[in-house]
Structures are given as structure tokens and as C-alpha cells.
Chain A
Amino acid sequence: GDSVTQMEGPVTLSEEAFLTINCTYTATGYPSLFWYVQYPGEGLQLLLKATKADDKGSNKGFEATYRKETTSFHLEKGSVQVSDSAVYFCALRGAGNNRKLIWGLGTSLAVNP
């Protein structure tokens, strides 16, 4: 079945460092891919998405490119801020009629000033 694997955390960075959180997936067809962010004590918010191969999702300085050839959707940001400290989830939705999202386990990011 479909699955999502993302790098384990926690990830600890200094402010203004470059961030990469790896996400790879297994799915048939062409799934839609998502990154969600969860700030402490809150629900999840959609950060960005891509619905077809080579699409680049971007938001708030974060980017991720849908790579069909490597089945990846890595999250990147050129210069992180303390306010980016959160848990980041990679997710996919299959190409069929199944409405469910398949979730990665989440990667915790801590940014130090």
C-alpha cells in the first residue's frame, strides 16, 4: 500500500541556517503530496502542496518539489527563524477515490537564536 517516510528528528538548527527535511513516498500512479506544520499545542496547518510531477509548492519561504523519478518531496528553507520551530508532517493522497491521507511520522524542528 501507499506509504510515506520522512527523516527522523529532532532537527536542531541555528537561526538563518539552511533546512532540509527529507520525505520519500511509495504510491501507485500520481499522488498529491503535502507538507503540514504543527506549532506547539495546536492543530496542523497546510504549509504547501504539489499535485503533479515537477510541481514546486512554496509558502512562507519553504519549498518542496515533487520528484517522480526519486519519489521524493523534500522540504527546504534557505534561512530558518526561531518561529519556524514546529513539527513538520509529509503526507500523500493517492490517485484513486480513496479520500484518506497517508502520513509520515513527523519531524520536530527546533531553531535556536
Chain B
Amino acid sequence: DGGITQSPKYLFRKEGQNVTLSCEQNLNHDAMYWYRQDPGQGLRLIYYSQIVNDFQKGDIAEGYSVSREKKESFPLTVTSAQKNPTAFYLCASSIESSGGIYNEQFFGPGTRLTVL
């Protein structure tokens, strides 16, 4: 089955530690995204990547880093510089066509990060 996997589902981290969230897709999608979701605030874009070896900052990139070495993988690192990292993190992907028709995003199940 094609889809997006995120691991782990629940993650606990001590304050001051970096942690990496995994996101893998086998949909052959070009673009991938990371969102942060907090209660009452909807989805906020952290980083996105339209092509391998390229990525752009979203609206709240400070304290986060990403890499896109392979088309199917887009890991997110939450660094110790992120002041309030406890949140639900969602990864998404989309296929890109020149006509922009296939532009909906497909989401993974999310990772809930808790900083202790």
C-alpha cells in the first residue's frame, strides 16, 4: 500500500536534547512538508521541499532543521533552540504537475512530541 509513514508515534525528549522525527513516503511524490499542530492554532508550516536536495523555510522554521537527500525521505530535527517543542508534528507530501491539478497533500499519522 502506498502512503506516508511517520515514526515514532509518541516521542519523549528531555529539555536541551535534539530529536529527529522520521517521515517516509512511497507515493513517488516530489514535494514534502512538515507542519506543527497546536491546540486551537491549526497547522503551521515548518519546512517544505519541492525537490531532492532543496528545501525552503516555512512560517515557523526557527529551531528546526531538515534534509532531503532522497525523494522518499524528509526527516525533521527539533533542536534545543526550539523554545516550545511540545506539539503534534505532521508530515505531508504532494505530487507536482505543471498544470497544478494534482496538488492536494497527503498526510502521515503524525508524531506527538513531548518535552519533559
Contact = CB atoms under 8 A, between A and B. Distances in A.
A103 B109 CA distance: 18
A93 B103 contact: yes
Given A44-B90, A46-B104, A93-B103, A99 B50 contact: yes
Contacts of B4: 43
Interface string B94-113: 10100011011111111000
A106 B90 CA distance: 15
Interface in A8-56: 32, 34, 36, 41-46, 49, 51
B63 to A, nearest CB: 20
Contacts of A101: 105
A60 interface: no
A99 B31 contact: yes
Interface stretch (B13-21, B41-49, B64-72, B76-84): B41-49
B2 interface: no
A34 B105 CA distance: 10
Interface in B1-16: 4, 6
A42 B94 contact: no
Decide if the interface of chain A is mainly helix, strand, loop or mixed. strand
Contacts of A100: 45, 48, 58
Taking each of B4, B104, B108, which has the highest tally of chain A beta carbons within 10 Å of its own beta carbon?
B104
A42 B58 contact: no
A43 B109 contact: yes
B95 to A, nearest CB: 11
A106 B43 CA distance: 9
A111 interface: no
Interface of B: 4, 6, 31, 40-43, 45, 48, 50, 58, 90, 92, 94, 96, 100-101, 103-110
Interface of A: 32, 34, 36, 41-46, 49, 51, 89, 93, 99-101, 103-106
